[in-house]
Amino acid sequence: MSQPSEKRAKRDKVVLAYSGGLDTSTILVWLIDQGYDVIAYTADVGQDDDFESIREKAMKCGALKYVCKDLRKDFVVDNIWPGVQANALYEDRYLLGTSLARPTITKGMIEVVKEEGAQYIAHGATGKGNDQIRMELHAMALHPDIKILAPWKMPEFYNRFEGRTALMEYAKSKNIELPTARQNPYSMDANLMHVSYESGILEDPAVPAPEDVYGMIVNPKNAPDQGEDLEIEFERGVPVKVTNKGDGTVKTDPLDIYMYLNTIGGKHGIGRIDIVENRYIGMKSRGIYECPAGTILLHAHLDIENFTLDKNVRRVKQELSLRFSEQVYEGYWYSPECDFVRHCIDKSQESVEGTVTLECYKGQVYIRSRSSKTSLYNESLVSMVVKGDFEPTDALGFIKVTGVRIKEYYRQRGVDSITHPSDALKKGSGDK
């Protein structure tokens, strides 16, 4: 299958994002057939894979080389942490587990491109999803002269391999190892932040996902009957220490913190969602996500942030976060605008520090208390009995002055100008 080495020097080099599965193995072999030298590349971003066995498959398929980079800590610090700072949620619900991993994976890939003197990258993503967009945009940013091969968008490939049968036959003819396990009836993407499931049997949004889809998080119904209390300490908007109040476990390394929160969240059934989301190009898509640590951190960060951040700074930052979430989802991590927004969000987090205590119990995170040296909370100010910087009479003035515009408006326009809820809202208003 491989080419005689003396001819190799003249062949173009491709770094292929390789998972060891049938698709990317086929692509690997097909690329060699097309005359490329292929370096198979896997980013370890925490997925549950046997990289040694992937290496063997790659070499067996004829790869010039196999490179696996452990990017787990980079993923946590470079990409997940900014997501935590932002409270990043796409369309109010999705914690962006796949989206946040793509910049890490592509950065590693471009490093391999440079180390190996390659001219091309290749990937196995199809032309309908978000990942092709993310990976290709990231690659273009990090290496503006990179050339990209996306076989599932090349007619000579996708016309040849229409349908699984053609793929299997090609694989057999090329001695590519066939998957032994029954193929999942859906597609998934896994990393240390989350597992996502879509397509196949999940495509009908009116049909509930079967319980056996889930893998990272226990069914809340099977979660322990005792909750678990955690204390999470933040600095600059990111967790720097997690303490289990029950057994005293302490974690301080970013990757350790994240993995530990995954363990706790997964055990307590925290972080499962079933949503329909809008892909970048506007098509709606149904996805199931499991994101334990991300869910816990979202709750905790929201709490410490609102405790320490000025109200109006938070409001500005909230709009930046909306933009950030979109940018990340749509593949613009490496773009001038996301770079700018990340900088601003990070700046906003300078004094977001302190400790949140919470309980994880059967699918939910319960915030219990919080403390911080930089909190803007002032008990004596807020207390109804202590008088602070202003007298009760000042509030009279405040409201009177605030009300001038409102009074004037309704005096002029009449109270009847107020919109009342559309009749539609009254639908279903039968007799009691």
Residue 117: both structure tokens together: 């003197």
For position 140 contacting a second copy by CB under 8 A, the verdict is yes
Q: How far is the CB of 339 from a second copy (least distance, A)?
A: 5
Choose between 53 and 318: whose C-beta lies nearer to a second copy. Answer: 318
3-state secondary structure of 335: coil
| Residues 87-106 interacting with a second copy (rule: CB under 8 A) | 87, 91-93
For position 376 contacting a second copy by CB under 8 A, the verdict is yes
List alpha helices for 268-310, DSSP H: 292-308
Choose between 63 and 139: whose C-beta lies nearer to a second copy. Answer: 139
Stretch that binds a second copy, among 3-11, 15-23, 34-42, 154-162 (CB under 8 A): 154-162
For position 210 contacting a second copy by CB under 8 A, the verdict is no
Q: For the chain, first and last CA: distance in Å?
A: 77
Choose between 38 and 255: whose C-beta lies nearer to a second copy. Answer: 255
Stretch that binds a second copy, among 28-36, 44-52, 60-68, 316-324 (CB under 8 A): 316-324
| Residues 257-296 interacting with a second copy (rule: CB under 8 A) | 257, 272-279, 281-286
Which of 47, 235, 245, 267 touches a second copy (CB under 8 A)?
A: 235
Say if residues 355 and 232 touch (Cβ distance below 8 Å). Answer: yes
String of DSSP letters for 67-128? EEEE-HHHIIIIIIHHHHHHT--BTTTB--HHHHHHHHHHHHHHHHHHHHT-SEEE----TT
Q: 19, 23, 25, 351: which one is catalytic?
A: 23
Site string for a second copy, 108-127 (x = CB under 8 A): ------------------xx
Q: How far is the CB of 39 from a second copy (least distance, A)?
A: 21
Instruction: Report CA torsion sign: 388, 390, 395, 399.
Output: negative
Q: How far is the CB of 385 from a second copy (least distance, A)?
A: 8
Q: How far is the CB of 79 from a second copy (least distance, A)?
A: 9
Which of 49, 56, 177, 256 touches a second copy (CB under 8 A)?
A: 256
Burial class (CB in 10 A: 0-12, 13-18, 19+), 107: buried
In what helix (H) or strand (E) does residue 243 lie, and over which residues does it extend? strand 238-244
Is 102 one of the annotated active-site residues of the chain? yes
For position 31 contacting a second copy by CB under 8 A, the verdict is no
Is 372 one of the annotated active-site residues of the chain? no
For position 130 contacting a second copy by CB under 8 A, the verdict is no
CA-based radius of gyration for the chain: 26
For position 46 contacting a second copy by CB under 8 A, the verdict is no
Strands 13-17 and 120-122: parallel
For position 168 contacting a second copy by CB under 8 A, the verdict is no
Q: How far is the CB of 123 from a second copy (least distance, A)?
A: 12
Interface with a second copy (CB under 8 A), residue total 163
Stretch that binds a second copy, among 10-18, 37-45, 176-184, 310-318 (CB under 8 A): 310-318
For position 211 contacting a second copy by CB under 8 A, the verdict is no
DSSP conformation class of 377: -
For position 158 contacting a second copy by CB under 8 A, the verdict is yes
Strands 250-251 and 13-17: unpaired
Residue 97: both structure tokens together: 């587990």
| Amino acid sitting at position 113 | V
For residues 237 and 346, give the distance between their C-alpha atoms in angstroms, rounded to a whole number: 8
Choose between 183 and 378: whose C-beta lies nearer to a second copy. Answer: 378
Strands 187-190 and 147-149: unpaired
| Residues 387-426 interacting with a second copy (rule: CB under 8 A) | 388-413, 415, 417-422, 424-426
Q: How far is the CB of 268 from a second copy (least distance, A)?
A: 11
Residue 65 φ/ψ, nearest 5 degrees: -165, 155
Choose between 25 and 325: whose C-beta lies nearer to a second copy. Answer: 325
Other beta carbons within 10 Å of 393:
8
Q: How far is the CB of 38 from a second copy (least distance, A)?
A: 20
For residues 32 and 34, give the distance between their C-alpha atoms in angstroms, rounded to a whole number: 5
Q: Give how far Cα 323 sits from Cα of 22, 155, 304, 334, Å.
A: 37, 35, 22, 14
Q: Which residues are catalytic?
A: 23, 102, 131, 187
